[in-house]
Amino acid sequence: MSKLDVNGRVHEVDADPATPLLYVLREQLGLNAAKFGCGLGQCGACVVIADGEAVYSCLTPISVLEGRKVRTLEGLGSAEKPGPLQRAFIEAQAAQCGYCIPGIMMRAQALLERNPNASEADIRAALQPHLCRCGTHVRILRAVARAGELMRGKS
Amino acid sequence: MNRRDFLQSAGALTVSFALPAWAQKLPGALERYPQLDAWLRIAADGRITVYTGKAELGQGIKTAILQVAAEQLAVEMKSIELITADTAQTPNEGYTAGSNSMKDSATAVMHAAAQAREILLGEAARRFGVSAESLTAQAGEVRAPDGRRIGYAALLEGKALSVRAAPQSKLIRTRNVMGKPISRVDIPAKVTGGAAYVQDLRLPDMLHARVVRPPSYGARLKSVAADSAARMPGVLKIVRDGNFLAVVAGREWQAVQALRELRARAAWDEPRKLPQDIYATLAKLRTEDIVIAPAQPAFAGKVFEAAYTRPYQLHGAIGPACAVARYEKDSLTIWSHAQGMYPLRGAIAELLGLPPERVRCVHMEGAGCYGHNGADDVAADAALIARAMPGRPIRVQWMREDEHAWEPYGPAMMTQVRAALDGSGNVGGWDYGVWSNTHSTRPARAGDLVAGQHVEKAFTPSPPRPLPLPDGGGDRNAIPYYKFPAARVTNHFIPEMPLRVSALRGLGAYMNVFSIESFMDELAAAANADPVEFRLRQLEDPRAREVIQLAAERFGWRSYRKQNGRGRGFAFARYKNHAGYCAVAMEVDAQRETGELRVLRVVAAAESGEAVNPDGIRNQIEGGILQSISWTTFEAAMWNDTRITSRDWSSYPILRFSHVPQTLEVQLIDRPGEPFLGTGEAAQGPTAGALANALAHATGVRVRDLPFNRARLKRAFAA
């Protein structure tokens, strides 16, 4: 049994310690947001936050996550009570198919927590490891910038 | 019996019209499914359900269809449940493709809803003893001026609207919901971790499977030592049928590990037959030559010629293909993100030897597809595995290398054009040819599915065929929209397919518009004319002229000052020559030393008839522009003599945030009352043309071969 702290709750997980976090999040914990995209750390669809850092959940075995705080998109709010970043993405309608969006949002969340005044250039640089095939990039950049404003207390 | 008598007949509601309504064409897909209750039902408890045979692909069709239904039924969007493509519930609308969903399905739903409203008003008028004209429909009920009101459900008394649609409807023109940038109904779940995709479907007792795909096209499985994989934790079954090899496990990661073990223990015979110089190969293959514009142009004066190439390009879904299938009691249910549930049902029924009515295909969203990718194939994989494990739902997701190596690519293409300028500097003669494989191998038969070709008793693929105009395939948009005095256009259809190909967003339009719009700029330069003005003076359609003028004006075309290393480019097309209009102007920066090309700024103008959701159209045009910048700048599938070598995102690079333009502006022209035109694919061609023209303007070098990657541009600049 491994202990995993996800979105503030500690879970006892019955899985091989070498199992990448992604599969445990999706299968054992029933969380949808982190997505399988490439299994290679090339696309960013699986990105979640561990102790404030964006990590590829498709490559990170659960054994290295004991004692670290994992956060997923589900931890930022819900459809009924969306958090600032989620509100900003809805406001900007920053999705088409949306498959890449949860990973991008978690990378953005980690950035904005570190630097709520992140400039557009900062946001672009942070999101460079992420692919979006629908071409929603411009809306994503707008949404992340807007989320920074919301987090800084601008309505 | 007249329209107002419909409630008097016993049982189902039926009505016929005094006029032979069926003699006239019905709007949109009502032509194929003329009964109103195929599209719309109002239950006894007041619940409203709308049915569409089209599928949400991330393009926002659910929201747009709910908008037209809500407007015409005079109810709130949230009071309507929308059922999308499902062979057990919805009309068969073929594929969600070709930018046809608004034209076909939303048009049908709009008219069905408007006619249902009129029927409800008529019935209320009969009950109240007043004229229908004095009544209003609002918030799910009919209201009379004297305060009397009655709900839709009470008027229908639980009966279905078994009414044949009329050719004309009284459409509500208030635009309370239609024409508004309503927020997409699917986005909240997508940004909060809700269950939004077939990848998120978890059924009780569900198992996970992976397929060991052959390493190359045509490879044969010589032997496999499956014992070691079979003994791995959680592994429940190894499924082998000819060259089809799969593993089933209790957990997904166990299935992935077993896949790797099994792959390492499989020995394959691989044919070495992939051609190296693809354009030389295509040029030698037999063609069927179809003259699609038969004029015999004269080539007086100065004659210009050019030839263009486009490589194989991937759909490249970010989420690899996925399906869930359950086989029990000789029946199969599949949850799939493929674009055509009914065609998929036919192909899978044949694959499994089941009658089609024993197969149900239910659409659920997947990652964006942009055409025919691996979605159908993974559904077939899941079906074969589910049959081997009856009673247990089987979830199959492809690995990244499966998606890259096995999806059918957008075909490599070649075009050649020859034109003469007349005395006034306009195009006199024009002769254009396009060489291409088919642009659709969508599954009609079991042999069109990868698994159908890999099983022991392999099925034969459907013969490749050119797609007919006016939509066309390789020849989509091959006929110029400009008014040239004599244009000859020939579609050189190549039946033999060296690589697996099928429909990729825009089909031939991407390459044909790239070619035509590149050449228009070359001719404009020869005529010493401004590229925008050169286009305008040879275009009659006022709607085309308006998008061109708007894009040029917003870009600041006339006042543009060229800087060193930078340039501007313009292009236009009307998608399929009968759908949405799109003009694109852009500025690029090209580095001669490195071959680095960046798009700095884009202004587009688009028109798609009546805009049901203006923000949805903008989102599609923006996405189309960025995706086309990616195709045009970076993308080409690679292979050696045996295997596809583009197997991940490092061997098939696409656009990243560093190459996203600094600004991207979409101007939308709305034409309320005009028919809906398709939008989803309208930007692909004009973006490529504008990029080619901007590159030429920036550097003085005309590049006619796609993509404009650094290696090619460095060579071109050095030449």
pLDDT tens, position by position, A71-86: 999 999 999 999 999 9
Q: Which residues of B touch A100 (CB under 8 A)?
A: 318, 367
Looking at the partner chain, which of B194, B627, B648 has a beta carbon nearest the beta carbon of A135? B627
**A106 and A137 fall within a common domain:** yes
Same domain, yes or no: A54 and A100 = no
Nearest residue to A24 (alpha-carbon basis) of B654, B595, B251: B251
Compute the nearest-CA separation of A73 from chain B (Å).
6
Hey, is the C-beta of A73 within 8 angstroms of any chain B C-beta? yes
Closest to A22 (Cα-Cα) out of A3, A1, A44: A44
Say how far residue B471 (Cα) sits from the centre of its chain.
Answer: 13
A58 and A9: one domain?
yes
Q: Are B165 and B35 in contact (CB under 8 A)?
A: yes
**Chain A residues touching B190 at Cβ < 8 A:** 95, 98, 101-102
Q: Exposed (0-12), middle (13-18) or buried (19+): which is B463, by Cβ within 10 Å?
A: exposed
Q: Does B502 touch chain A (CB under 8 A)?
A: no
Q: Rounded CA gap, B296 and B599, in Å?
A: 39
Neighbours of B576 (CB within 10 A): 23
The nearest alpha carbon in chain A to B200 belongs to A32
Residue B15 carries which DSSP code?
B
pLDDT reported for residue A155: 61
Q: Do both A83 and A141 map to the same domain?
A: yes
In this complex, the residue of B59, B197, B256 whose CB is nearest that of residue A96 is B59
Tell which residue, B677, B603, B581, B614, has the closest CA to residue B184: B614
- Measure the CA–CA gap between B179 and A123, rounded to whole angstroms: 33
- A15, A37, A135: residue with CB nearest B623: A135
Residue type, B359: V
A38: nearest CB among B627, B630, B649: B649
Domain finish residue from A50, A75, A100: A75
Name residue A60's amino acid: T
Residue of B350, B56, B10, B50 lying closest to B187 (CA atoms): B56
pLDDT on residue B160: 82
For chain B, say whether A82 makes contact (Cβ under 8 Å): yes
Tokens 């025919």 appear where?
B372
Do A62 and A113 lie in one domain? The reply is no
Name the burial class of residue B49, with classes exposed (0-12), middle (13-18) and buried (19+) by CB atoms within 10 angstroms of its CB.
middle
In chain A, DSSP finds a helix count (H) and a strand count (E) of: 5, 5
Strands B581-590 and B566-574, how do they pair? antiparallel
Same domain, A69 and A92: no
SS3 assignment, position B659: helix
Same domain, A69 and A93: no
C-alpha to C-alpha distance for B518 and B569, rounded to whole angstroms: 10
Domains of chain B (ranges, CATH numbers): 3-189 (3.30.365.10), 198-271+315-406 (3.30.365.10), 413-439+474-718 (3.30.365.10)
- Give Cα B383 distance to the centre of its chain: 24
CA separation (Å) from B129 to A20, A78, B1, B14, B170?
70, 50, 19, 22, 22
Residue ending a domain, among A46, A75, A104, is A75
Tokens for B360?
């149900």
**Do A36 and A89 belong together in one domain?**
no
Compute mean pLDDT per 10 residues along chain B, 719 residues long, and list them. Answer: 40 41 80 96 94 96 97 96 97 94 96 96 96 96 96 90 92 94 98 97 98 98 97 98 98 98 98 96 98 93 95 98 97 98 98 98 98 98 98 98 98 98 94 98 97 98 96 98 97 98 98 98 98 98 98 98 97 98 98 96 98 98 98 98 98 98 98 94 98 98 98 95
CB–CB contact B192 A86 (8 Å)? yes
Whether residue A99 sits in one domain with residue A143: yes
User: A135–B622: do the CB atoms touch at under 8 Å?
Assistant: yes
Find residues 335-374 of chain B whose CB sits inside 8 Å of chain A: 365-368, 370
- Whether B401 contacts chain A with CB within 8 A: no
What radius of gyration, in Å, describes the C-alpha atoms of chain B?
27
Residue B23 is predicted with a pLDDT of: 58
Please give the angle made by the CA atoms of B245, B250 and B251, to the nearest 5 degrees.
Answer: 95
Give dist(CA B27, CA B50) in Å, integer. 17
A42 to chain B: closest CA residue: B649
Q: Are residue A141 and residue A84 in the same domain, yes or no? A: yes
Domain termination residue (choose one: A75, A109, A133):
A75
pTM: 0.96
Distance set, CA B410 to CA B286, B372, B405, B579, B684 (Å): 20, 9, 13, 21, 13
For residues B275 and B408, give the distance between their C-alpha atoms in angstroms, rounded to a whole number: 17
Looking at the fold, whether A93 and A106 belong to one and the same domain comes out as: yes
The answer to whether A33 contacts chain B (CB < 8 Å) is: yes
How is residue B689 annotated by DSSP? H
CA distance A20 to chain B (A): 8
In chain B, which residues have their Cβ closer than 8 Å to the Cβ of A72? 193
Q: Any CB–CB contact under 8 A between B204 and chain A? A: no
Nearest by CB to residue B619, choosing from A74, A96, A132, is A96
Quote the pLDDT of residue B24. Answer: 79
Q: Give the pLDDT confidence score for residue B115 in this predicted structure.
A: 96
Distance CA B325, CA B263 (A): 23
Exposed, middle or buried: residue B414 (CB in 10 Å: 0-12, 13-18, 19+)?
buried
- The verdict on A8 and A61 lying in the same domain is yes
Single-letter amino acid code for the residue at B73:
L
Minimal CA separation from A134 to chain B, in Å: 5
- For A81, the closest chain B residue by CA position comes to B192
Share of chain A above pLDDT 70, in %: 99
State how far the Cα of B515 lies from the Cα of B430, in Å rounded to an integer: 13
User: Of B609, B505, B576, B615, nearest to B64 (Cα)?
Assistant: B615
Query: Which structural domain, as residue segments, surrounds residue A19?
Result: 2-75
User: Which residue, among B96, B184, B190, would best test binding to A if mutated, counting the most A CBs under 10 Å from its CB?
Assistant: B190
Query: At A20, which CATH number?
Result: 3.10.20.30
CB within 8 Å: A134 and B368: yes
Give the span between the Cα atoms of A85 and A79, in whole angstroms. 12
Q: How many CB pairs under 8 A join A and B?
A: 177
Residues B10, B8: Cα–Cα separation, whole Å: 6
Residues, chain B, total?
719
Cα separation values, B6 from B108, B117, B156, B179, Å: 21, 14, 10, 33
For testing contact with chain B, the best of A133, A140, A141 (most B CBs within 10 A): A133
CATH code, A114: 1.10.150.120
What pLDDT was estimated at residue B159? 82
DSSP-assigned letter for residue B676:
P
Look at residue B21 and give its three-state secondary structure: helix
Residue B630, chain A, CB below 8 Å: the answer is: yes
Query: What's the longest Cα–Cα distance across chain A?
Result: 45
Q: Which of B11, B54, B7, B12 is nearest to B32 (CA)?
A: B54
Residues 90-109 of A with CB under 8 A from B: 90, 93, 95-102, 105
* CB-CB neighbors (< 8 A) of B615 in chain A: 93
The answer for A 121-140 residues in CB contact with B (under 8 A) is 124-125, 127-128, 130-139
DSSP for A78-125, written as a single string: -SSS--HHHHHHHHTT--SS-TTHHHHHHHHHHHHHH-TT--HHHHHH
3-state SS class at B462: coil
Q: Which residue has the tokens 């032979």?
A: B20
CB contact under 8 Å between B320 and A36, yes or no, is yes
pLDDT at B17: 41
Looking at the structure of chain A, the number of domains it has is: 2
Q: DSSP labels for B96-142?
A: S-TT-HIIIIIHHHHHHHHHHHHHHHHHHHHHHTS-GGG-EEETTEE
Q: Crossing angle for the helix pair B684-699 and B614-634, nearest 10 degrees?
A: 50
Dihedral of the alpha carbons of A137, A143, A146, A150, in degrees to the nearest 10: -150
Q: How far is B621 from chain A (nearest CA, A)?
A: 9
Predicted local confidence at residue B301, as pLDDT:
82
CA dihedral sign of residues A91, A97, A102, A105: negative
Tell me how far CA of residue A64 lies from CA of A13, A15, A30, B212, B374, in angstroms. Answer: 14, 13, 21, 30, 34
The residue among B56, B61, B191, B631 with the most chain A CBs within 10 A of its CB, best to mutate, is B191
φ and ψ of B215, to 5 deg: -75, -15
